[in-house]
Each structure stands twice: as structure tokens, then as C-alpha cells.
Amino acid sequence: MFQTLYSYFWWERLWLPANLTWADLEDRDGRVYAKASDLYVTLPLAFLFLVVRHLFETYVATPLAGLLNVKEKIRLKAAPNAVLERFYAATSKHPKQADVETLSKKSGCSVRQVERWFRRRRNQDRPSLLKKFREASWRFTFYLLAFIAGMAVIVDKPWFYDLREVWKGYPIQSMLPSQYWYYIIELSFYWSLLFSIASDVKRKDFKEQIIHHVATIILISFSWFANYIRAGTLIMALHDSADYLLESAKMFNYAGWRNTCNNIFIVFAAVFIVTRLVILPFWIMHCTVVYPLELYPAFFGYYFFNFMMVVLQSLHVFWAYLIIRMAQKFITGKASWGPGVVEDERSDREETDDTEEEEEAAKNGPLSNGHPVLNNNHRKTD
């Protein structure tokens, strides 16, 4: 049964154009082709990446955080309370008003005390600023090095300047050693991201991140199997071109370098929109959708590859929407990280004990001892 499934999975008509077989992609005459077995090494390398990441965050990112004066906010811990803790763990971290009133009676606390306890308890589970900085530092370092390596791999190739060269002679295109290592390292890194996503800082786009990592792994793997390597290197380098900018903006934000964070974010937003919403759909996807049909009839692999590209592009549109919202806050000065600083729309914002007072102030103006203040130009900040 396993042999039958194996035969169906590697059926040439799924992976290759008509009249081509796997025998056509066997190494000969000095030509070297990608093999599925080459990717087995990416799984142990992914765990090696996790080890390297731990060492990097411990011995590089943590001292760097100290040099940049990354400071933690003082978090008030929720007082031990068995009734509230049991509800928090088993039912909901965000109780409804009816639940708050019920818990107030059961725990012997006032409604306000119950609300404050849940705010403090949720804050205890939120990742620390140092954890966020360390993660951003690791991703920044990898994306920057990967982008530099990717450009070194493709900048001197003719298909970097003429996209029709991507398909010239396909699929009889020999794989270069630089392409091999670029693929292996990128795929290993994305496996490591998928393995660590449960323990990393969770943001509001957690599900979209999982979809992105899975789609990326599938695209990289499929392009390897079907010898779409030239297109694959272009796509990977294009994605790395903006990611390191975002991670560096996060690092400076966590360090309190507001103006630097703002300026880098503007550059990131411009690069992201140009690369993901212009170059990718109108150049790269045009290259993968239109040009292959000039050489061979469409087959399953052609449709599958471009379908996964559409999935990625949909995620880019979603993230572009969040980026534009951040940019609007930056332009209008309504950012909540501080004056003129853009808040990450994906972040789970930390709550403070004076949340209720802030909400009341938003309705009736700032409060002083519970009463409205008619003229107060100095607002309290978190």
C-alpha cells in the first residue's frame, strides 16, 4: 500500500510537463538537478537553527538589549485567588460582565477588584519586552543575512534582469551550488519558525502566520521538486527584502528609539508595498503564470504552484491593510506607542490598572479624583 501511495505521489504528470519524466532530470553531462532526498537534511538543520537561535538570544540579543537600555515595565502581579484562577484557566481570560458579578460574589471581592485581578493576570501571561526584543533581533539577523545571500545568488544571473530567462530550457536547468545552499538554509529556517511558533510571541495574526509558514514551506519544497529553482530564488529574495526592516523597527521600538523606529517603519512600508503588491503580482506572478504556457501546456504542478502563490499574495494584502492602518496612525499622530509612534496592529496591547479611568476620560474628559478636569494638557501615559 505504501509503495502504491508513493508511486501516485511521484507520478510525473503531477510534477512535470507532458512528455517529461524523472529520468530527464537525472544528473548527466555535468548537469546537476534537485532531488527530493536533498531536502531531508532541512529537518535536522531546523532543530540546529533552534539551538543557534537560543545561543544567539542568550549571548548576543540579551547583552544588546542591555546596551540599548531595553527596560521592562513593572507588572503588578495578581493576588492569589483560587476562585478567579480556576475561572481564568478553565473558562475564559476575558470574563463577561455577568461572570464578573458572579465571581465577585464567590470570591468575596468587589467587581472592580475582580476586573483589576483579570487585567493583572492577563498581563502576567503576556511576553516580556526582553522576549520580544530577542525574537526580533534573531529574525532581523537572519533576514538581513538571507537577503544579502539571496542577492549574491541571483544578481549576476540573466533571469534577474529578464524574467523570460527563468524558463529558458526548462526543465533541463542545472542547479548551482549557491542555489542549493540558499534553498536548504531558507527551508530549514522556515521549518524552525513553524516548530517554534507555539512558544513565540503570539499576535493577532497567529493563524495567518501559520498559514504563511506552511504555504512557504510547500512552495519552496514544490519548486525544488519541479525544478522551479530560478523562480524560487527570485521569490525568496523578494520576501527577505522587507522583513529585516520590520524586525529592526521593532527592535528600536522596544529600545525606545522612537524617531528611528518611525523612519525605518516608513521605509519598510514603502518596500513592502512595492515588493509584495507591485513586483510580486505584476512581475513575478506574471512570470510564473504566463511565460510557462509559451513552452508547454498547463499541468497539475503549474496550477498548484500558482495557487499557492495566490495564497501568499492574499496574506500580503491582509498585512498591507494592517501596515496602512499603522501608517495612518503615524500620519495623524494617533499612534499609541508614544508621540508619533506607530502601534503594531498585530500586537496584544498590555493593560494597566487605570484602564477604566482612561475609558471614562475618553467619554467625559480627563479625571482628577474621579471628577472631570476642564483644562489638562498633560495626559497620563502608560
pTM for this structure? 0.78
Instruction: Please name the residue that has the C-alpha cell 543575512.
Output: 145
In the prediction, which pLDDT does 55 show?
97
Which of 45-49, 300-304, 353-357 is least confident? 353-357
At 249-293, the pLDDT tens digits run 999 999 989 889 988 998 999 999 999 999 999 999 999 999 999
The domain limits of the chain are 30-68+128-332, 82-125
pLDDT confidence bin for 217, thresholds 50/70/90: very high
| Cα angle: 282, vertex 287, 293; to 5 degrees | 130
At 133-154, the pLDDT tens digits run 999 999 999 999 999 999 999 9
In the prediction, which pLDDT does 121 show?
82
DSSP string, 9-46: HT-HHHHS-TT--GGGGS-BTTB----GGGGGGHHHHH
pLDDT confidence bin for 82, thresholds 50/70/90: confident
Cβ(343)–Cβ(335) under 8 Å?
yes
Q: Could you tell me the sign of the dihedral formed by the alpha carbons of 101, 107, 113, 118, in that order?
A: negative
* β-bridge mates for residue 367, sequence order: 372
pLDDT of residue 31 exceeding 80, the answer is yes
For 289, counting Cβ atoms within 10 Å of its Cβ (0-12 exposed, 13-18 middle, 19+ buried), the class is middle
At 163-196, the pLDDT tens digits run 999 999 888 888 999 999 999 999 999 999 999 9
Q: 140-177 burial, b for 16+ CB within 10 Å, e for fewer? A: bbbbbebbebbeebbeebebbeebeebbeebbebebee
pLDDT confidence bin for 80, thresholds 50/70/90: confident
pLDDT cut 90: percent of the chain above it: 43
Distance in angstroms (rounded) separating the CA atoms of residues 148 and 240 = 9
In the prediction, which pLDDT does 374 show?
34
Residue 371 DSSP SS3 = strand
pLDDT confidence bin for 87, thresholds 50/70/90: confident
In the prediction, which pLDDT does 356 show?
45
Least Cα distance to 339 among 267, 258, 227 occurs for: 258
**Tell me, which fold does domain 82-125 have in CATH?**
Arc Repressor Mutant, subunit A (1.10.10)
pLDDT of residue 90 exceeding 70, the answer is yes
DSSP string, 199-215: TSPP-TTHHHHHHHHHH
| Secondary element (H or E) of residue 159 | none
In the prediction, which pLDDT does 377 show?
38
pLDDT cut 70: percent of the chain above it: 85
For 280, counting Cβ atoms within 10 Å of its Cβ (0-12 exposed, 13-18 middle, 19+ buried), the class is buried
At 360-372, the pLDDT tens digits run 443 444 433 333 3
In the chain, at which residue ranges do the beta strands (DSSP E only) sit?
A: 367-368, 371-372
Which of 188-202, 232-246, 317-331 is least confident? 317-331
pLDDT of residue 205 exceeding 90, the answer is no
- Runs of H (alpha helix) within 255-299: 258-274, 285-289
In the prediction, which pLDDT does 370 show?
36
Cβ(80)–Cβ(117) under 8 Å?
no
Alpha carbon 84 to its chain centroid, in Å, reads 34
In the prediction, which pLDDT does 119 show?
86
Q: Could you tell me the sign of the dihedral formed by the alpha carbons of 313, 314, 319, 325, in that order?
A: positive
* β-bridge mates for residue 368, sequence order: 371
